[in-house]
A and B are shown apart, each in its own frame.
Chain A
Amino acid sequence: MTSIGTGYDLSNSVFSPDGRNFQVEYAVKAVENGGTAIGIRCKDGVVLALEKLVTSKLLKPGANKRIATVDRHMGVVSAGLLPDGRHFVSRARDEAAQWRRFYKGPIPTSALANRMGSYVQAYTLYSSVRPFGVTAIVAGWDSEAELPVDGQVGAGPAVGAGGKKEGGKQGGPFLYMIEPSGLYWGYYGAATGKGRQAAKTELEKLDLGSGELTLEQGVKEAARIIYVAHEDSKDKDLEVEMTWVSALDGPTKGRHEEVPKELREEAERLAKKALEGDDDEEEGAERMQE
């Protein structure tokens, strides 16, 4: 941040002499102040989880959901400026709907991430706009089945060529994270917001790359990781919001839905228990030091 005050950070779409776009970096700062959001790609689905800080006692408990459904099979959670997150979701919904109008089928998660990456990037190009103050995590389940010719109406030809590849696999769980610069990557485990460092450390312990973790385990890990990430702002009250999406034969039947209350509460109970265990150890260690 040594270049603050040199004037290169006052307008969007301006490079500093060392090739940085400061306004985008500042937008990232806005993200880093938001509640932690994570996503875990499991073998049979994806979980999204969000640390929601309760800023006022007057807020209606359990309302103000922030993980949004973008299409039947896809959800988005974001950290950073709340209204920017809503704008992002609104655009994502439009993209998903437009895809359906054009292709008569659901948008693949990768395509949505690509389109939203382009959209967000466009807001770094002009001095007349500011970048998005959000980092968004997109979770989706892409159908493994061959789609019928016209959605749900009619069965399509019962025989004939479809250009099928023997043994070819398609679809499955997908997870992407899009940053204020428009940059996006696919992830096994993604984290953003205030507690992202702690969350990333925990995600890395899970060995998600091997594709062994089940969705139900993923839900429990997600709740635990949110609680771990919350440790630094422990003085503030917390609500955990979780959604998931699975295959057609899974618990959500291919849809993006809220994790059922019972399961979420169970996951939160386990998370608290796991953390209390940790706390005891830490306290013990502190006492030793004293």
Chain B
Amino acid sequence: MFRNNYDNDSVTFSPQGRIFQVEYAQEAVKQGSVVVGIVSKTHAVLAALKRNAEDLSSYQKKIIPIDAHYGIALAGLASDARVLSNFMKQQSLSSRLTYDRAISLAEITARIGHRAQVNTQHYGKRPYGVGLLIAGVDAKGPHLFEFQPSGVTQEMVACGIGARSQMARTYLERNLDHFEGSSRVELVKHALRALKDSLSQGRELTVDNTSVGVAGISEDFKLYEGQDIASWLDATFENREEGEEGESMEVDT
């Protein structure tokens, strides 16, 4: 039934010092659709591919605004993300209430990292099955953090997680040098192109399946969906082929 004797729970080390349950939880992140985040000197951007279970169903929410100054994008178990996002909302509000200060992204990331770690050390708990990108602007400028089920959190310049995200990361690594000086719209375009690279053959980004979140210095975090991102999509993929464009046009009408 099990691959080995050491993967039954998250309180057992393998002889190599690995914790298989945590590694399996990381696999759940790879089942989720891809999300991408990038920061420049002035802005932080999230872009996500939304999935729908069937044609007539709605799309799964991928980007959640948390506080005025930041939001998260998720890949993996959405219900775990909801638990974490509720926690983040509470902590963020409490910082504003107690100190009249927007919580720093490093601090809020550390707090969910700490929660996730506890789930990997106690019997009867399971690791979170979700990866997050936390993006926004605080007193120290724009930031992007990655959160993993293991409780590992890292500050990134750009990052992609979820299904086939390696392709997005390849794009990001290739264009790494351009991000810092990018304008707001350029940064969104980079994020969309990275996202596009992770799509399977023949699929396209449309106003229905794409979400974008943007925060900037003196610009609150805002989630853009539907027609609000049409112009970005058009500008990013202007030489899109006729047939592919038809798909998005159809939805528009």
Interface residues of A (CB under 8 A from B): 1, 4-5, 9-12, 22-23, 26-33, 56-60, 63-64, 81-84, 86-87, 90, 123, 127-131, 133
Contacts and interface: CB of A to CB of B under 8 A. Distances in A.
B19 to A, nearest CB: 7
Contacts of A60: 144, 155-157
Interface string B16-50: 11110000000000000000000000000000000
Nearest to A87: B117
A71 B98 CA distance: 23
B197 to A, nearest CB: 14
A155 B154 CA distance: 45
A133 B5 CA distance: 19
Interface of B: 5-6, 10-19, 110, 113-114, 116-118, 120-124, 144, 150-152, 154-159, 169, 172-173, 176
Contact of B157 (A58, A81, A83): A58
A59 B11 CA distance: 29
Contacts, number: 99
Contacts of B15: 1, 4, 9, 22, 26, 29
Contact of B155 (A63, A82, A83, A84): A63
Chain B interface, DSSP helix/strand/loop, else mixed: loop
- Sorted nearest first, the 9 A-B pairs with minimum C-beta distance are A29-B17, A83-B151, A30-B17, A26-B13, A83-B117, A130-B11, A63-B155, A128-B123, A60-B155
Nearest to A22: B15
Contacts of B144: 60
Contacts of B14: 26
B173 A58 contact: yes
B194 to A, nearest CB: 11
A127 B123 contact: yes
A11 B10 CA distance: 11
